Amino acid sequence: MNITLLNCVFSLEEQYIGESVPEIRQQLEEYAQGRRTTFALIIHWDTLPNTHILTAIATIPYGHTATYSTIAAQTETHPRAVGIACRKNPLPLCIPCHRVIGAHGIGGYGYGVAVKRQLLAQEADRG
């Protein structure tokens, strides 16, 4: 499913979520409006690629960030593997890969660095 939020079209693979498309959309829209800081979605973790990395990323609280190296240490992998998992994240925003940053800067983002900066600024303002 595609959803436009914050002037960006996000692509989510809803087969990994055990909720209806309208429920997913509602929660994402509430997030974009700053009315939701966590998602109440049933995620089928056991079917996700890179589950161990994405699970660690999902624990990064709203308004906070973690480095690729920190997530790599938590998951006993390499920072590049964390970057690959972020790039292939089938549930952007729900699994907040935008909260993963480089040790020396913001790092990349599949939807563009400007969108990543916007998401982080929104969360910092409301978190």
Would you please indicate which residues are annotated as catalytic (active-site) residues? 97
The pair of structure tokens assigned to 112 is: 């563009």
Q: Are 12 and 90 in contact (CB under 8 A)?
A: yes
Is residue 11 helix, strand or coil? strand
Amino acid in the structure at residue 62: Y
Helix residue spans in the chain (DSSP H): 21-32, 51-58, 68-75, 79-87, 113-126
Rounded CA separation 124/127 (Å)? 5
